[in-house]
Structure 1
Amino acid sequence: MFWTVKCSVSFAVLLVIVLSISEAASDRTKTVELNVKPGGVVHTFTEGIGKYECSFTYAAQGGTNEDWLMSVGLSDDDRLFSCSLWRPQGKSYLFFTQFKAELKGTKIEYANAYSQTGHRDVPLRADEFTVGESTVVQTDGKFNAQLSKLTVIGRTRHDEL
Structure 2
Amino acid sequence: MAKLCVYMNCVFVLVFGLSSLSVPAEASPEQTKTVEFNVKPGGVVYTFSEAFRDYECSFTYASQGGTNEQWLMSVGLSDDDTLFSCSVWRPQGKSYLFFTQFKAELKGTKIEYASAYSQSAAAGHSDVPLRPEEFTIKDSTVTHNEGKFSAQLSKLVAIGRTRHDEL
Amino acid at match of 1:120: S
Q: Which residue does 1:45 correspond to in 2?
A: 48
Q: Which residue does 2:94 correspond to in 1?
A: 91
Whether the 8 Å CA contact 1:37–1:60 is kept in 2: the answer is: yes
Deviation of 1:28 (Å): 1.2
TM-score scaled to structure 2, two decimals? 0.80
1:97-108 paired onto structure 2 within 5 Å: 97-108=100-111
* Other structure's SS at 1:69 match: strand
Which one has the largest radius of gyration? 1
Amino acid at match of 1:155: R
Note the alpha carbon deviations across 1:78-126, whole angstroms, 9 max, x for none: 0000000110111001000000000001000000000001211000000
Deviation of 1:26 (Å): 4.4
Identity of aligned residues (%): 77
Whether the 8 Å CA contact 1:74–1:82 is kept in 2: the answer is: yes
Q: Distance in 1 between matches of 2:91 and 2:52?
A: 22
Note the alpha carbon deviations across 1:17-55, whole angstroms, 9 max, x for none: xxxxxxxx4441000001000001110000111010000
Within the alignment, does 1:59 sit opposite 2:77 as a pair?
no
Q: Which residue does 1:73 correspond to in 2?
A: 76
Q: Distance in 2 between matches of 1:28 and 1:69?
A: 17
Structure 1, gaps ≥5 residues long: 1-24
TM-score scaled to structure 1, two decimals? 0.83
How many equivalent residue pairs?
138
Deviation of 1:159 (Å): 1.5
Q: CA RMSD in A?
A: 1.2
**Runs of 4+ residues deviating >3 angstroms:** none
More helix by share: 1
Whether the 8 Å CA contact 1:27–1:49 is kept in 2: the answer is: no
Q: Distance in 1 between matches of 2:66 and 2:58?
A: 23
Q: Distance in 2 between matches of 1:66 and 1:49?
A: 24
Within the alignment, does 1:116 sit opposite 2:119 as a pair?
yes
Q: Distance in 2 between matches of 1:26 and 1:126?
A: 31
